[in-house]
């Protein structure tokens, strides 16, 4: 099975920082860290069997999405060498609209 390097786009890193702050404020820093650790494990797990998730070429060529714990939509792309985590959208965010203007 092919293995690819997983990288986080700057926008995805910003999403993770925002998500940490949101959870830490609402609950606790420990709970926020535990949640983000699980989310990052899902993302890093895309290194193998990378073609998971739903293809959304109708929004952007090569775009794939996968859900996480019924609250997060992870948007990513796959090429021959790597998986790029593009964004991590929380709750009911308009993730489709964020890609309408083209690549981030």
What was the pLDDT predicted at 85?
98
In CATH terms, 5-98 corresponds, of 3.40.50.720, 3.40.50.300, 3.30.2310.20, 3.40.640.10, to: 3.30.2310.20
Among 38, 83, 41, smallest CA distance to 65 is for 83
Q: Is the confidence at residue 28, as pLDDT, over 70?
A: yes
Q: Is the pLDDT of residue 103 over 50?
A: no
Which pTM value belongs to this model? 0.87
Of 43, 49, 56, the residue nearest 6 (C-alpha): 43
DSSP SS3 for 64: strand
Query: pLDDT at position 91, please?
Result: 80
The rounded mean pLDDT for the chain is 90
29 pLDDT exceeds 90? yes
Q: For residue range 53-68, what is the model confidence (pLDDT) as tens digits? A: 999 999 999 999 999 9
């Amino acid at each position: 099975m092919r293995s690819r390097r997983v990288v986080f786009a700057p926008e995805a890193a910003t999403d993770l920082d925002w998500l940490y702050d949101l959870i830490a404020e609402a609950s606790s820093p420990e709970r926020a860290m535990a949640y983000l650790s699980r989310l990052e494990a899902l993302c890093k797990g895309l290194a193998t069997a990378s073609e998971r998730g739903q293809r959304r070429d109708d929004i952007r060529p090569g775009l794939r999405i996968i859900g996480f714990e019924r609250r997060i939509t992870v948007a990513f792309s796959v090429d021959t060498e790597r998986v790029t985590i593009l964004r991590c959208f929380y709750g009911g965010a308009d993730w489709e609209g964020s890609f309408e203007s083209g690549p981030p």
